[in-house]
Chain A
Amino acid sequence: GAVVSQHPSWVICKSGTSVKIECRSLDFQATTMFWYRQFPKQSLMLMATSNEGSKATYEQGVEKDKFLINHASLTLSTLTVTSAHPEDSSFYICSAELGQGIRETQYFGPGTRLLVL
């Protein structure tokens, strides 16, 4: 149980185009999902918290107009990198929160490798 999928697993795009990444909780409903970015050999950096039916909460320094997040259902959150540039190339990971109250545990998707040319 607690399986999270991401699609696509990797994507190459041209500079200036937009890329959408999907994150799905396959066997549970997730009120809250998270989007992270990870650079090589570094830890995960939280970009934003995605709440179903409401606006995402972005971490300081993350451009909300650049990284659009939509959490339209209890099993799907999407991250759209708008007008992508080479510096946006990275590994993006989503997670979904299982449980409510004080027993939250995050389960992670397999990640999406984005390369912007």
Chain B
Amino acid sequence: AQTVTQSQPEMSVQEAETVTLSCTYDTSESDYYLFWYKQPPSRQMILVIRQEAYKQQNATENRFSVNFQKAAKSFSLKISDSQLGDAAMYFCALVPGGGNKLTFGTGTQLKVEL
């Protein structure tokens, strides 16, 4: 079984600043995939970034990047140059290699302030 833990229920960041959202996980699988999804007020789930566990290089997507620490089972999301449109609930999720069920964390509500 997999578990995903997001210990920050809420975070705030000033516009144009950088914020890091934390995520830790536990799995007995050696192969797995990690995701960050964003859910804005519209409630549409949007894929932000994906990381394959077998890759050492941290994934990046424009202003979004991850710090993947496999030994520590940590997968944090860094948002640079925060924008008002980044305000949303962010979910960390894991799927084991060969499987297809996503295990979600409880989410972090990100507020972006002017």
Binary CB contact string for chain B from 35 to 69 against chain A (1 if under 8 A, 0 otherwise): 10100001111110010100000000000000000
| A43 close to chain B: CB less than 8 A | yes
A91 within 8 A of B: yes
Per the bound structure, the CA–CA distance linking A43 and B107 in Å amounts to 7
> A46 within 8 Å of B by Cβ?
yes
Contact of B43 among A97, A101, A110 (CB under 8 A): A110
Selected from B33, B42, B45, B105, the residue in CB contact (under 8 A) with A104 is: B33
Closest to B103 in A: A46
Interchain CB contact under 8 A, B47 and A107: yes
Q: B43 and A111: CB pair below 8 A?
A: yes
Q: Across the interface, do A32 and B100 meet the contact criterion of CB distance under 8 Å? A: yes
Closest to B31 in A: A102
Question: In the complex, A110 Cα to B42 Cα: how many Å?
Answer: 8
- Cβ of B48 to closest chain A Cβ, rounded Å: 12
Would you give the 0/1 interface string for A94-117, flagging 1 where the beta carbon is closer than 8 Å to chain B? 010100011111111111000000
Residues of B within 8 A of A79 (CB): none
In whole angstroms, how far apart are the Cα atoms of A103 and B106 in the complex? 23
Of the residues B37, B43, B97, B102, contact of A102 by C-beta under 8 Å: B97
Interface residues of A (CB under 8 A from B): 32, 34, 38, 42-44, 46, 49, 91, 93, 95, 97, 101-111
Interface residues of B (CB under 8 A from A): 31, 33, 35, 37, 42-47, 50, 52, 91, 95, 97-98, 100-102, 104-107
